[in-house]
Each structure stands twice: as structure tokens, then as C-alpha cells.
Amino acid sequence: MADRPRVFVSRVLPGGDSPDSPIGRLRAATDLDLWDGGDPPPAEVLRERLAQADGVLTMLTERIDVALLDAAPHLRVVSNLAVGFDNIDVPACTERGVLVTNTPGVLDETTADMAFALLLAAARRLPEAERAIREGAWGQWHPTWMLGHQVTGATLGIVGPGRIASAVARRAQGFGMKVLYHGRREVPGFPGERATLPELLAASDFISVHVPLNAETAGMCNADFFAAMKQSAIFVNTARGPVVDQDALIEALRSGQIAGAALDVMTPEPLPADHPLLTAPHLVVAPHLGSATEETRARMAHLAVSGLLGVLAGDTPATVLNPEAAAIHRSAR
Ligand code: GLV
Ligand code: GLV
């Protein structure tokens, strides 16, 4: 057999290490360099480990930018263990003939479960209510204590009608909710009605964001966005932290401009325990757990490994984001 490709993997993958596990499959087919730290490899380590690598399997914590690509002359594939790929400079990869793959499809339902869990938790004030018990603040049953917001029959506004959003909308239908969506184009078959952003913000009791992070969406949930929401409405974000102007969100919660927010993503991640965001009222937070189930993370790891091994074998798997890069050959190779 010819030399096995060198592959750097930036974290221990879910699914164990039996021969048919994601790691087992990599061991069988590659010369595997596995970073087994709990934290991401520091930038210098990543650069050093990629100097000889043919492929890399990254997390959303690794930034793959021009400087790193230029220090990785043999690299042919970046496989991201996530559906989002804002951590990767895809055009720079394309220019250098590096294929980029991600993990679409396998995490939609799981992430939609999380968005709905957050929506319900914020609507019914569950974290706050649980804290009340633990802090001894639960008095006698009172008809006006700890009242939340009705989910059943309410209007859900979805911003960014992709696959995860569609799974959220189906859950909403089960709760008898009216679903509105806003996106650049009409999405045939989307379980909801298309609306302009101003219409959606004015009409929705819950707003859930599902846009990818890019130059167009960064900071799109800003002071104007929150000011256009109903005062009784709750904002949910399971997409990416930087789509929100977080200071504007804190202010909207403090001033009562909106009724609450539930976030699985924020800025920065990890969020320090003394961050001002956590002083905002009516806020539910989770530490970026959208796809975090045993089953889904194992599927993601298998898909990421298949994408990586497929490219190294000379194929262009369906998960490749920049198939045009396959036609570009790096002079150094
Ligand atoms: C997680 O945030 C992902 O993009 O898969
Ligand atoms: C509440 O517990 C009720 O019985 O209405």
C-alpha cells in the first residue's frame, strides 16, 4: 500500500474506538495524529501539526484561515464536525484546492429538540422556577406567582428557514402554533407562512433564529430588531452567537422591551460566569448543546470521517461544500 495519508483530528471523537467507530475507521485508513486534550489545540500546535497533514478533522473551535492554510502545503481536506462552518475560510480553501466538508442533515431533529426545549423553558420560566425551589423561595401556591407565557396556540416566527428551522416548525405545529418564516426566498413545502421581517417581528410571540453566520447575518438581531418585537415575545437562538448584538439583547431584556430570551449560543464561548449577559433578567442559557446527544454526535463523527476519507480517496462526497476546489491543484503537491 502507498503511504497512508496523514490526518490530524483535533479532539477525541464520540463513538468509542472499536474498529467500526469513527476513530477506528480513521486508524485503519490513515496515519492518525489525535489531539486528546479537553481544550482545543493552541493555534501554534495546530499550525505545527498541519504542516505535514493531508487531512484535518476540526471542531467549530478551530479557525482555519489563510495563515494556517499557507502553513499546511499538503492539506487536501478540512472536515468540520459541525453543520456550521463559519470557523473556516472556505474561499481561501477553494483557492488552494482544499475541499471542505461538514455534517449536514444528521443533527436537524436533535437541534430542533434543543430549540424547542429552550423555547418551552423560557416560556414557562423553568430554570428560574427550579432556582426558587433550591433557594427556599417557594412559598404557598399563589395564583399570580411565576406566570409564564402560553406556547400552545401562539405564533412562532422563524428567521432563516433551513433544515433545522423546518424541524422546529413541525414541532410548533404539534403545539397548535401559527408559524411564520422569513428568508431570502420562498421555501416550497416549509411548514409555515412566509412573511417580511417587520411583519414577522410584529406578529410573533416567539422568535427562533436559524441563519448561518456570515457577513450578512452578523449582528442582524440588533436594537432595531428587538424594538420591533412584541414586549411579550421571547427570543430563541440556537444558530451562532455573533448573529446577535448581545449588548442590544441585554438592554432589551433589562428594559422589558422583550419578555425573555433563550440562548444555546452566545459571545464569547465559553461564556465566563461573571459575564454581564448573565445579569440580564428572563434569560435561559445553555452551553452550545444543540446537537449534543450520544446518537447524533456519533452520526456526526461518522459523517465527518466519511467526508474526510472520501476526499483522501479521490472522491467528492455529497457533503463537500466547495466541490469546485477539486479541480484546483496545489503547486506544492
Ligand atoms: C453546531 O453548532 C454545528 O454547527 O453543528
Ligand atoms: C394547579 O396545580 C391546579 O390544580 O390548577
210 and 305 inside one domain: no
Q: Tell me if 84 CB under 6 Å of ligand 1.
A: yes
- Tell whether 210 is covered by a domain: yes
254 and 169 inside one domain: yes
Cross-strand partners of 33:
8
Residue with CA nearest ligand 1 atom 5: 82
275 and 250 inside one domain: yes
215 and 94 inside one domain: no
Residue 322 phi/psi, 5-degree rounding, is -135, 65
Give the mutation target among 100, 106, 111 for probing the ligand 1 site: most ligand atoms within 8 A of CB: 111
How confident is the model at residue 77, as a pLDDT? 98
Burial of 75 per CB tally in 10 Å (0-12, 13-18, 19+): buried
Question: What are 249-277's pLDDT values in tens digits?
Answer: 999 999 999 999 999 999 999 999 999 99
155 and 253 inside one domain: yes
Q: How many CB atoms lie within 10 A of CB 178?
A: 16
- Tell whether 12 is covered by a domain: yes
Contact 36, 61 (CB under 8 A): no
215 and 264 inside one domain: yes
Apex 85 CA angle, 84 and 88, nearest 5: 165
Contact 300, 103 (CB under 8 A): yes
Question: pTM of the predicted model, to two decimals?
Answer: 0.94
d(CA 325, CA 55): 15
- Tell whether 297 is covered by a domain: yes
137 and 272 inside one domain: yes
324 and 267 inside one domain: no
Q: What is the CATH number of the domain that holds 171?
A: 3.40.50.720
Q: Residue 88's Cα: distance from chain center in Å?
A: 14
Q: Report the separation in Å between the CA atom of 122 and the middle of ligand 2, taken as the mean of its atom positions.
A: 20
> CB neighbours of 19 closer than 8 A, spacing ≥ 6?
25, 28
Q: Tell me if 82 CB under 6 Å of ligand 1.
A: yes
How confident is the model at residue 2, as a pLDDT? 61
Return the closest-CA partner of residue 9 out of 46, 44, 42, 43. Answer: 46
- Ranges of residues in the chain with a pLDDT under 70 are 1-2, 330-333
Which grid coordinates belong to 10? Answer: 483535533
> CB neighbours of 23 closer than 8 A, spacing ≥ 6?
9, 12, 13, 15, 16, 17, 32, 34
How confident is the model at residue 333, as a pLDDT? 46
- Tell whether 1 is covered by a domain: no
- Tell whether 273 is covered by a domain: yes
> What domain range is 176 assigned to?
108-285
91 and 151 inside one domain: no
How confident is the model at residue 319, as a pLDDT? 98
How confident is the model at residue 330, as a pLDDT? 59
How confident is the model at residue 332, as a pLDDT? 44
Q: Tell me if 161 CB under 6 Å of ligand 1.
A: no
202 and 262 inside one domain: yes
d(CA 254, CA 181): 27
Q: How many structural domains are present in the chain?
A: 2
267 and 316 inside one domain: no
Pairing of strands 31-34, 6-9: parallel
163 and 90 inside one domain: no
